[in-house]
Structure 1
Amino acid sequence: MSAGPWEVVAARRELDAAGVPIALREAYLRSRRLNAEHGRTYFLATRLLPAATRPAVHALYGFARQVDDIVDDTGARSPADRALELDHLDKRLTEALDTGSSPEPVLAALADTAARYRIDRALFEDFLASMRMDLTVSDYPTRAALEDYVHGSAAVIGLQLLPVLGTICPIEQARPHAAELGVAFQLTNFLRDVAEDLDRGRVYLPLDELAAFGVDRDRLARCRETGRPDKRVRRALADQVARTRARYRSAVGGIELLSPQARPCVRTAFTLYGEILDRIVESDYEVFRNRAAVPTSRRIAVAASAAASALAVRASSRLAPRARG
């Protein structure tokens, strides 16, 4: 996707603000393009961060996207081929984190970001471990089994972002909330993407919780074939929505623990992802034929309101030293 003149200026401003050296600029731009192309809501939310923070967020997204593309490439390549590619990527990642550099743009940006913000490399290892599960695990019998997966696929994303976003408290205090919000976003994706995941041979809804409503994998597959959920599946999905909303409630307190400059961004993501659940409910759980999405007009409205808050925070931050003087 080509960027217009305004986007080119915006990208350059972000790199200048972050102090990214010339040698790494194309690496960061590569990750930024991946974010803009594949993560619309996520990219929109990052625009609410201070310019200096955005390149690091793009770098983290770019790596996650690169891994996702390997795992979800269910075309001609076998799971064994994709597992081998993940192993090779893991080795190149280790080299990049050890040396602080890489000839591959996405890894170069990631290594620089990890060093700048002292991101625990175990978080990347946990992420890759969960991504490997996608190559061999097609469903999860219990909530506990799913939690093992989402720790690496989602919780660690929140934990990677936390030192980039900054906190007003000891970072340890904010970590449980950051992890919980990452999980809430992931569970929302699972509900939105039930049909797409079934097409890939996967079910990310705990089978024992579905069974309580008389739903199994075969019933989900039949709903995918017809494009319509039946009564049992609607009740099961309603239960999953309620459980996911509880995760948002558990996470929301952590937003106030973030740096003031980061809060408008995270609130926007919190609001827009939560509203995906609203769209699912309003559609009467029609997730097998249509992909629930927040309308563009609504996304713009939420972002515009948050942008006003972000500008106010930045203005207050600039004036604060003068007031103390």
Structure 2
Amino acid sequence: MNRSHLVLQAKISIDRGSKSFALASKLFRKHIRERVWMLYAWCRQCDDLADGQDHGHGMSAVQDPKRTIAAMRMLTTRAIGGEKTGKPAFDALGIVAQECQLPKYLASDVIDGFALDADEWQPDSEEDLFQYCYHVAGAVGCMMAIIMGIPTGDDETLDRACDLGLAFQLSNIARDITEDAEAGRCYIPRQWLAEMRIDPDNIMDAARRPALIELVDRLCTLSESYEASARIGAARLPFRSRWAVLAAAGIYGDIARMVKTSAGQSLEKRVVTSKSSKIHWVTKGFGQAIFKPRHKERTGLWSRTRHQI
């Protein structure tokens, strides 16, 4: 496929896979919007392959997860190296990598997150939790920032971009506690569970529901902290990109806010944001993009440059 066909396929992917990101992406300038779509298509394809899904829906067992991860790495390496793979999502990544000089290690870091899931890994500590969130979302935030024109050596801004990915993933984890438990997964650190006397093999125990709700609230509070940090970093982006990022931050941040105010109801029914609330954040994001926030240091926040699994 040529570039225009890959862009079209990527647009179809984001429209099917995420209404929130699809809406926010429309705010970018055309060349950045296309690259964002193509990066999303690669992320979505990798996630679907790892979890046996179709655009994030219908999780099913993967026959040989380690072999799947190995194939994912091979196709990604070939695509970033400039080879045609015959797989639209991977070829789309290859185009973005060539146009934006994306560092190879970031794509590898994302795949490392899928490898952790393939190994049925669970975080022991809060640091482990953040390391996982970096792999599956924070590294993508860094790639997005580079697509928007941030130099690869600007660690301060890339850290803020990573923060937005961390915020998004913490929101996902808080929202999907029940769905993950049904799939045999748990991303709440074992140390947190022990602190609240929750059995890691039975986190949905009704007798410990109040304690679980406290941990869900803790995830949401952390998400809000990293969203706030990311908003400061967004001030360094061009206006259209800043608007899109702030709109996405608000739309996705609402997930954590709704989970937190649900008083445990999110464990019974999956939280979703309405179309009107998404449009609200597009409008509000425009105003926020005009007035840059006061700078605040990232003191106390997790850093991607200081931690390795």
Which of 281, 300, 303 is the matching residue for 1:302?
281
- Determine helix, strand or coil for the equivalent of 1:230: helix
- Distance of aligned partners of 1:295 and 1:101 in 2 relative to their CA distance in 1, 3 Å threshold: same
Q: Which residue of 2 aligns with 1:58?
A: 37
- Cα deviation digits, residues 100-120 of structure 1 (max 9, x gap): 533221111110111100110
Aligned partners of 2:170 and 2:222 also within 8 Å: no
Work out the CA distance in 2 between the residues paired with 1:170 and 1:98: 21
Matched, 1:230 2:209: yes
Alignment counterpart, residue 278 of structure 1, candidates 245, 257, 272: 257
Bigger Cα Rg = 1
Give TM-score scaled by structure 1 length: 0.80
Structure 2: how far apart are the matches of 1:119 and 1:274?
27
Matched, 1:269 2:254: no
| 1:104 match | 87
Once the 2 structures are TM-superposed, how far is the Cα of residue 172 of structure 1 from its aligned partner? 3.1
Residues 125-144 of structure 1 correspond to what in structure 2 (within 5 A)? 125-144=108-127
8 Å Cα contact 2:246-2:288 kept in structure 1: no
Q: Which residue of 2 aligns with 1:240?
A: 219
Partner Cα distance (1:247, 1:97) in 2? 30
Contact 1:48 1:307 in 2 (8 A): no
After superposition, what is the alpha-carbon deviation per residue over 1:22-57, rounded to whole angstroms, capped at 9, x for unaligned? 822212211211111011111111011112211100
* Deviation at residue 265 of structure 1 after TM alignment: 0.5
Can you give the 5+ residue segments of structure 2 that lack an aligned partner in the other structure?
53-58, 292-309
Give the aligned partner of residue 193 of structure 1: 176
Q: Is the 8 A contact 1:71 1:82 kept in 2?
A: yes
Correspondence for 1:172: 155
Q: Distance in 2 between matches of 1:155 and 1:218?
A: 28
The residue matched to 2:191 in structure 1 has which SS? Answer: helix
Extract unaligned runs of 5+ from structure 1. Answer: 1-21, 314-325
Per-residue deviation at 1:148?
2.3
- Code of the aligned partner of 2:164: L
Residues 127 and 156 of structure 1 are in contact (CA less than 8 Å); yes or no, is this contact kept in structure 2? yes
**Does structure 1 retain, via aligned residues, the 8 Å contact 2:50–2:62?**
no
TM-score of the superposed pair, with normalisation by structure 2: 0.84
Q: How does 1:87-98 map to 2 (within 5 A)?
A: 87-98=70-81
**Distance verdict in 2 for CA 1:46–1:189, change over 3 Å:** same
TM-aligned CA deviation for residue 218 of structure 1: 3.9
Shift of 1:138: 4.1
Between the aligned partners of 2:41 and 2:279, the Cα distance in structure 1 is 23
Alignment check: 8 A CA contact 1:83 1:132 kept:
yes
Q: What amino acid does structure 1 have at the position aligned with 2:203?
A: L
2:198 and 2:208 in contact (8 A); partners too? no
2:62 is the alignment partner of 1:77: yes
Q: 1:241 to 1:210 in 2, by over 3 A?
A: farther
- How far residue 288 of structure 1 moved from its aligned partner, in angstroms, is 2.0
* CA gap 1:215/1:76 in 2 versus in 1, 3 angstroms: closer
Query: Residues 175 and 251 of structure 1: is their aligned pair in 2 closer, same or farther, counting only changes over 3 Å?
Result: same
Q: Percent identity?
A: 22
**Residues 76 and 263 of structure 1, relative CA distance in 2, 3 Å threshold:** closer
Which stretch shows the higher mean deviation, 256-265 or 96-105?
Answer: 96-105
Q: Is the 8 A contact 2:79 2:94 kept in 1?
A: yes
Report the Cα distance in structure 1 between the residues aligned to 2:234 and 2:260, rounded to whole angstroms.
Answer: 25
